[in-house]
Structure 1
Amino acid sequence: MPGIKDVARLAGVSVSTVSYVFSGKRSISPKTAEKVRQAVEELGYIPNASAQRLRGGHNRIIAISEPIRDEMNQTQYNAYFLETAKQAKDAGYDVLILTSEEAVIDIQRVTGSNLVEGVILLDLMHNDQRAALAHLYSKPCVAIGYPVEHQDCACIDIDFTKMGQMAAQTLYRLGHRTIAFLRGLEEDYQRGAGYMILFYEALLKETQALGITLIESEKVDHHNFDANQFTQRIINGPEHPTALINQSGSDILNAVLDSMQNAGISIPDDCSVLSCGTYLEKELVHQPISEIPFTPGKLCTGAVSILRNAIEDKRDIRGAVRLFEPELVDRGSLASVRSITEGGTV
């Protein structure tokens, strides 16, 4: 494999001159730069993104920013990362994953050095600095999420406000007027997970508008959640909800489903269950649960397409927003209150 010394020898210049042509740190005459470019092409030497720029092309690398956190949902993390990487690969791009929590600095480093041609942000917070500071990046940026400040990057996501409304309306049409809500992990609310906050706020507002009584679980975490207490206090409590909306992952949900089964509560005969903002398709759930899910395939395909338009067609994508309508996947865990009453369980 040819090295920088081979390029210098063929071009008839010093190694430092070749390095300066690549980096642009010093002014090099057009004639000398052309000699280096010709040597690079003849030898097929591509040391880094700078050499690609000499060839007048793209380095075809994009960055994926997805900081790794404790207690993160690995199924969702893997789904979004792998789907984004797959779509990038199909489009002819390699990916560089940035996992540090010092995300803004990392993105500035890889965009400022021309190591990547664009950035896709995953796992967005409601107030996400990566999106808010996108004007600091020298390359186009797409967020799979809908943070508050996004004027300098494109956003693509499910409309989680509509998802919250849809959850309430779906159960309302089935006659449910008292509904239990199993919250997501408390640490996700506290860190400002954007989709969870948007869904939760919309659900509260819509249930209030429809006259639905919403009974919330206590704060949920992996280590202290008591599924039996939740079942006894809320599902079998004095207000006796006829439906349950879930926002937790499969581990918490499975614990509740098992507890309900042990308590003799049949789904959907005694209680309908609807999971929202989850991705149960790829998780082991103890029984089929109807869901308004994440759609990683659709979102990641769209994000890569938007970024390609910015890179290859020079489109200005700053401030662009695309929100997909949420979709209900019926897996048989929903029933009308009339059906429940006729079954003699209420």
Structure 2
Amino acid sequence: MITIKEVAHHAGVSMSTVSYVLSGKRSISEETKRRVEQSIVALGYHPNAGARALASNRSQVLGLVVPLRSDHNMPVIMQFVSSIVASARDFDYDVLLLTKEAGPGEAHRIVARSMADAIVMMDVESADPRVPELRALDAPVVLLGMPDDHEGLSCVDLDFAAAGKQMVNHLADLGHRSIALIGSHPSVYDRGTSYAARLLDGFQSAASKRNLSASVHSCAPGYDSVAACLDDVLRPDRGTTGLVVHNEAILGQLLLDLRRRSLDVPTDLSVITLCPDDLAESLAVPLTSMAVPAQELGAIAVEMAMARLGQELAPEVRLLQPRLTERGSTTAL
């Protein structure tokens, strides 16, 4: 392994000069700086992470808080994680993945122990108990999600309320008068998860505005759970003709069960969903969908956190507008 001493010898300077070039703590002439940088490239030197942290008072680590729960759809979660890791590497940062449930005090512990310079937090609740702590934290924090009380916090997310409204309006514009929302696992609503609550609010407000008959059903994954959910959704007295599905984990099973019931999509039942594009395209029946832009959201969260390192930037909230892609799973009545 190449050492700083070897770089200094190759460049014809002292070890302290190389250190100052790496840390930027002292002004070095452009000629000397160029010579040191050329030696670093020529020798393939990589600064030791610990030494770099001491020199800069930074750990070069981004903390990612993402509790792994049984009601999470792991393939979608991993799209967010992979985007955050890749984006952090663009800033020469590593990612510390914290997967246990993080209550109040966890973010302070991470920062106080110099485990991370900034934090991105997922799995945000509408009434998130961590909000007071996050406001007082002496480090950048970006929420991938948006609590109801987000004053003073930086957040980025999909506009789930707008997504719920647009999916309802899409079905209403096609003439559907009785629709249903098949939503997330019951525990997601019990926990007060922000994204689920906001989509539900958008769904209900749009259905009311369009004078639609609308029912709401939470659904756990698994054959029996999906079958029982559809038994309720498709009760004859409901007359349901359009489904909004906000539950990636059940989409495959739902389509199989509709086929078992001899129901054709979209002839007998129109279906629109919120999920990543690659999932919507790969199903037995490609579904018209609102995209979950996991790659874009993860990259923006990292950029917002990095921009706030060492700078007093005002908190900001970025809600990405949903994008509808039609794939033929909805039709006019």
For Structure 1 versus Structure 2, the TM-score category normalised by the shorter chain is 0.7 to 0.9
Per the TM alignment, residue 280 of structure 1 is displaced from its structure 2 partner at its CA by 5.7
What CA distance in whole angstroms lies between the structure 2 residues aligned with 1:156 and 1:129? 18
Alpha-carbon offset, residue 91 of structure 1: 2.2
* Alpha-carbon separation, structure 2, partners of 1:47 and 1:65: 22
* Match of residue 16 from structure 1: none
Please name the residue that 1:39 is paired with. Answer: none
The alpha-carbon distance between structure 1 residues 281 and 266, as it changes in their structure 2 partners (threshold 3 A), is: same
Between the aligned partners of 1:238 and 1:46, the Cα distance in structure 2 is: 68
CA RMSD of aligned residues (A): 2.6
Q: What corresponds to 1:281 in structure 2?
A: 278
> How far off its partner does 1:158 sit?
0.9
Change (3 A) 1:131 1:75: farther
**Is 1:170 equivalent to 2:174 in the alignment?**
no
The match for 1:61 is 61
| Aligned equivalents of 2:230, 2:53: Cα separation in 1 | 62
Give yes or no for contact 1:104–1:129 (8 Å, CA) kept in 2: yes
Q: Which runs of 4+ in 1 moved over 6 A?
A: none
Match of 2:148 in 1: 148
Displacement of 1:135 in angstroms is 2.7
Residues 180 and 308 of structure 1: is their aligned pair in 2 closer, same or farther, counting only changes over 3 Å?
A: same
Is the Cα–Cα contact under 8 Å of residues 66 and 98 in structure 2 kept in the other structure? yes
Distance across 2 between alignment mates of 1:111 and 1:165: 39
1:333 maps to which residue?
A: 329
Give the aligned partner of residue 13 of structure 2. Answer: none
SS of equivalent residue, structure 2 residue 308: helix
TM-score when normalising by structure 1? 0.76
Deviations 1:70-96 (A, max 9, x none): 332111221111111111112221111
Classify the secondary structure of the residue corresponding to 1:241. coil
Whether the 8 Å CA contact 1:62–1:93 is kept in 2: the answer is yes
Aligned to 2:200: 200
1:223 shift after superposition: 5.6
Deviations 1:136-194 (A, max 9, x none): 42211001111123334310111111111111111111111111221221010001111
Counterpart contact for 1:134–1:152, Cα < 8 Å: no
| CA apart distance, 1:196 | 0.4
Deviates more, 1:106-115 or 1:92-101: 106-115
Give the distance between the partners of 2:298 and 2:47, measured in 1 at CA.
Answer: 33
Unaligned runs of 5+ in 2: 3-45
Report the TM-score when normalising by structure 2.
0.79
**Paired-residue identity, %:** 21
Q: CA deviation at 1:295?
A: 0.8
CA distance in 2, matches of 1:57, 1:262: 61
Matched, 1:94 2:90: no
Does the 8 A contact of 1:132 with 1:149 survive in 2?
A: no
The 2-side partners of 1:178 and 1:259 are apart by 20
Corresponding residue for residue 125 of structure 2:
125
Letter in 2 for 1:330: E
Q: 1:183 to 1:96 in 2, by over 3 A?
A: same
In structure 2, the partner of 1:301 is 299
